Structure 1
Amino acid sequence: MELSDIELILLWQKGEELAFEAIYKRYAVQLLSIAYQKVGERDIAEDIVQEVFITLFRNKEAADSISSLFAYLYVTLKNKILDAYRRDVLQRKYLHHVNTSFVDERDNSPYFQIETRDLEKKLEFEIERLPPQCGKVFKLSRQKHLSNKEIALQLGISENTVEQHMRKALRILRGNLLYYDKSMMLLLVMLHTHLN
């Protein structure tokens, strides 16, 4: 007999991790379908659904107070999708700002040169913190200017895997540098050809 959502939640709270896995299996495909319809990119949809379940996992102690698990997951999914849209709009605004004004603001003043070096160091630091394979792919693409096909051949992986690593790298870097206004601009300048 199939357990109800609340029975699974109570088992999970008692330490049965397989109960959380059962909740995931019960709703992940449905949530992924909804997310994919809204964002149109499978990898982004998968990331959003993963964030939904991370939110549930972090709310473990209070999960037994959820009256409808699907409603909870659906509302969380909707909020995560809205967050993704906001990030995308913000990034587009940065790109627009970079394209229209940042280049014109550049000068040869010592202050600007020091600031630029500082931003480049921050970016290099974040690149070094990328997951190993992700970092390799990113460096071969951005620093060695290899095509996805060339990277795939060199690392013995598929072109699709190369693309996934690049998207992941860009997502991590954007997230880690989002709080640095000009760092974000510098990142977008460096990655502009990849993003377009």
Structure 2
Amino acid sequence: MKIDEIQCIKELRNGSYQAFTQIYEAYADRLYSFVLKQLKNRSLTQDIVQDTFLRLWDNRNQLNSFGNLQAFIFTIAKHQVIDYFRKQVNELQFEDFMEYCENQATDVSPEDILLYDEFLQQLQQSKKVLSQREHEIYELSREKHIPIKQIAEQLGLSEQTVKNYLTSALKILRSEMMKYNILFIFFL
């Protein structure tokens, strides 16, 4: 759906729900595809797309009539996806990637998508290095957000043992991801 971006931005800044609806209809499907490609989770993708448009509405006064609306929307989504993965990998260090994304222009370029895909692939590859128990505990703690105490009860282990496995998993992942960060610098 093609829209008159300049007019929609002006109307949106004035609080027009109709303009907001037009923008949503014009970009929601593309945004959904972009986010789904990163997350591979339909429910989470729907949440992020919805939250992206909510943030667009909340920040509508920051829109510039001469700016690129699509870039603005996709940048909001990109930061939401990054925030999601920051929570997922929690203590893993990928500041180089974050800094790169934040220093780039607001356009979501194909290179950004490729680099982000590579990062996600490296994270998945790094998780394969973990032992079965480390992998299981990492996923329960960091991906499913289950508390240590509950994991210990579920697996029949002491809380300290669960903490030890989790610490070990994080050290291994941190080490594996640092290899990626070093390689990532050469792509800049």
TM-score (normalizing by structure 1): 0.46
Higher RCO (CA-CA < 8 Å; seq separation 6+): 2
> Which of the two has higher C-alpha Rg?
1
Normalized per residue, the structure richer in helix is 1
TM-score (normalizing by structure 2): 0.48
